[in-house]
Amino acid sequence: MPVADYTTYCRMIDRALAGRFAYPAINVTSMTTASAVLKGLAESKSDGIIQVSTGGGAFASGSAVKEMALGAIAIAEYVHRMAERYPVYVALHTDHCQADKLDQFVNPLIAETERRRGEGRPNLFNSHMFDGSALPLKENLDIAVALLRRCRQSEIILEIEAGVVGGEEDGVKGGGPSEKLYTTPADMCEVARRLNEISGARYLFAATFGNVHGVYKPGTVKLKPSILKDGQDAVTKAFGPAARFALVFHGGSGSSLEEIREALDYGVVKMNIDTDTQYAFTRPIADHMFRSYDGVLKVDGEVGNKKAYDPRNYLAAAEKAMAERVRQAVRDLRGENTTLFK
């Protein structure tokens, strides 16, 4: 099925919010990792989200080019072609983009969609994330409002974040005062007030409740999903049930299934997954190298074994393992057999 259009993407979000399930949003950096996501979603009969970060886009463009927007465009165009072969819907999204990278990443990608729409072609990306969490809330929302107005014109959904996700992703470290790891009800109400003034626009909101990027042993990360409930209750009281957020869960590695499911009950419809799928992809490659050491290397003047060092062999195993981790994510998020595709 083709990449979801705006109407379908909105239906996906609304259905997840009503049904208390969420879509895995998997970061990809190549055709192989994108194929792994499509495979895992299709085998789970779940729609989902493929996303590209600034670092992922730069990597995808090659070490001689390192242009984050160009790499993201290349991955998106691949997904647009390949998604037609899978019986599920997939949305294309860009992950964390800080204010100082907007002109290198999100703005050029919005411009590319605007150009495509002018030619009668579908959007390149369905949604983009602006991460202004390191800024004072007013400055964060001033930029977000301007971006959302522009996105609305091209049927693009904007994701924003208030509160800081700890840890590190793509070389960007979160942190600061510990209280910043928890978005307050007052902050959530201010987000709703500012963004809901833009009639007809759709957005996703990454509120923080102790989230930390990276990988941790179970029990290390101290999440407080009840913060999401408190914020949703405050927004509903102030602006009515229609203002209830479609929330995004960042930094979920090491979270217990109980914590994940509780967050779904409070309005999470999208959960970002990167660290765990990176490991799932790399693990079989490491296994292959250890088991085939004398085949992948030309040791002591020998010629090695071409079948062992052909990247297609170990990358196929990596794709399969990553697809299985995507299937686990779908199960954790109550998403099996929920596709809108008929």
Which residues are the active-site residues?
A: 95
Name residues whose C-beta falls within 8 Å of residue 89's C-beta, 6 or more positions apart in sequence: 1, 3, 4, 8, 9, 12, 47, 339, 340, 341
Task: Write out the H or E segment, with its range, that includes residue 82.
Answer: helix 68-82
Identity of the amino acid at 241: P
- The pair of structure tokens assigned to 213 is 């990027």
| Number of C-beta neighbours around residue 63 at 10 A | 7
Q: 168-169 and 172-173 as β-strands: parallel, antiparallel, unpaired?
A: antiparallel
Surface-to-core class of residue 43, CB atoms within 10 Å of its CB (0-12 exposed, 13-18 middle, 19+ buried): middle
CA 33 to chain centre: 13
First-residue to last-residue Cα distance in the chain: 10
Identity of the amino acid at 15: R
Q: Is 94 helix (H, G, I), strand (E, B) or coil?
A: strand
